[in-house]
Amino acid sequence: MINIMTICVAALAEENDKEYIVFATDHMVTTNQGQFEHTIVKYKPINDCWVVAMLSGRALLFDELVNLEDYNSSFDVIKERIFQNFKKKKEEVIEKEVFERLMIDKNFFMDALEKKIPNEFVHNLLKSVYQFNLKTSIMLIGFDDGGIARISEINEKGFNDFREINFHAIGSGSDQARNTLLFQKHSDSEKLSTAVYNVYKAKRNAEVKQGVGKETELKILSDGHIHSLSKEKMEILNNVYQKELEYGKNQQDIKDLCPGGVSK
């Protein structure tokens, strides 16, 4: 099975009264045979690039989860449709991975719900279905009909919006990424260049988590276009990041704290 144990990060920015969304992913793919850096793209443009979906979890579910009747729908309609796709897909996967494995069907399960639990087998079955998790999330970013930038996370349980928080991250390393953006005090009024670095730093800091790849894909969403940074600009980001890592521990004031060791 191919899984994307990935990091997806997004943050808002504003410059010259115009909103932007900066987002980043890695290129790591996890399989039963191990983890590999891959050229697979972990985001899908929707709605003429006014809306973009990023996935963490089961890679093979991506196309089905973002399968829409009308790709020109509003952000909120797309979000609701993806949620319904999640619920449908969860039922299908439970049917295949739970019911068929036990050689039963959904009718058996529904009948069991209406009766007292008669044995350990049925109890474990109910528990398996109740605790089943696709372990997959989609981060939906884009602009609504009013041109307002939006960030939402969707999974089989529902969805949450992060417009007020101004950023979000999903997948492996998401805790590290969110903590980085909190540490940076990121807000939606950040200039675009600042947001670009904040998102880059968040993704790089997430690399301490197993399953996050070292390669970084960073994009800017605005005006129905996805803008890429050149290799030269990505190298500038890397240089700034490396300098920041070294800055504190190489400062002379730090070195002078204990020049002769610690006295007894």
pLDDT at 118: 63
pLDDT at 254: 76
pLDDT at 29: 65
pLDDT at 117: 61
In DSSP terms, which residues pair with 3 in a beta bridge?
30, 58
Given a cut of 80, is residue 32 above it in pLDDT? Answer: no
- Residue-wise pLDDT for 72-89, tens only, equals 899 999 999 999 999 999
Tell me the three-class secondary structure of the chain, residue by residue: CCEECCEEEEEEEEECCEEEEEEEECCEEEECCEEEECCCCCEEEECCCCEEEEEEEEHHHHHHHCCCCCCCCCHHHHHHHHHHHHHHHHHHHHHHHHHCCCCCCHHHHHHHHCCCCCCHHHHHHHHHHHHCCCCCEEEEEEECCCCCEEEEEEECCEEEECCCCCEEEEECCHHHHHHHHHHCCCCCCCCHHHHHHHHHHHHHHHCCCCCCCCCCEEEEEECCEEEECCHHHHHHHHHHHHHHHHHCCCCHHHHCCCECECCC
pLDDT at 31: 57
35 vs 228, higher pLDDT: 228
Q: Whole-structure pTM over 0.75, yes or no?
A: yes
Given a cut of 80, is residue 184 above it in pLDDT? Answer: yes
pLDDT at 261: 62
pLDDT at 218: 96
Spatial separation of the C-alpha atoms in residues 136 and 6, rounded to whole Å: 10
pLDDT at 192: 96
Other CB atoms within 10 Å distance of the CB of residue 105: 11
Q: Which amino acid is at 7?
A: I
Given a cut of 70, is residue 36 above it in pLDDT? Answer: no
For residue 3, name the pLDDT band (cuts at 50, 70, 90): low
Task: Give 209: exposed, middle or buried? Use CB within 10 Å, 0-12, 13-18, 19+.
Answer: middle
For residue 178, name the pLDDT band (cuts at 50, 70, 90): very high
Q: What percent of the chain has pLDDT over 70?
A: 90
Which residue carries 């050689």 as its tokens?
103
Joined together, the tokens standing for residue 192 give 């675009």
pLDDT at 179: 97
Q: CATH number of 3-82+136-255: 3.20.20.70, 3.50.50.60, 3.90.550.10, 3.60.20.10? A: 3.60.20.10
Give the mean pLDDT of the chain: 87
For residue 160, name the pLDDT band (cuts at 50, 70, 90): very high
Domain boundaries of the chain, sorted by first residue: 3-82+136-255
Other CB atoms within 10 Å distance of the CB of residue 206: 29
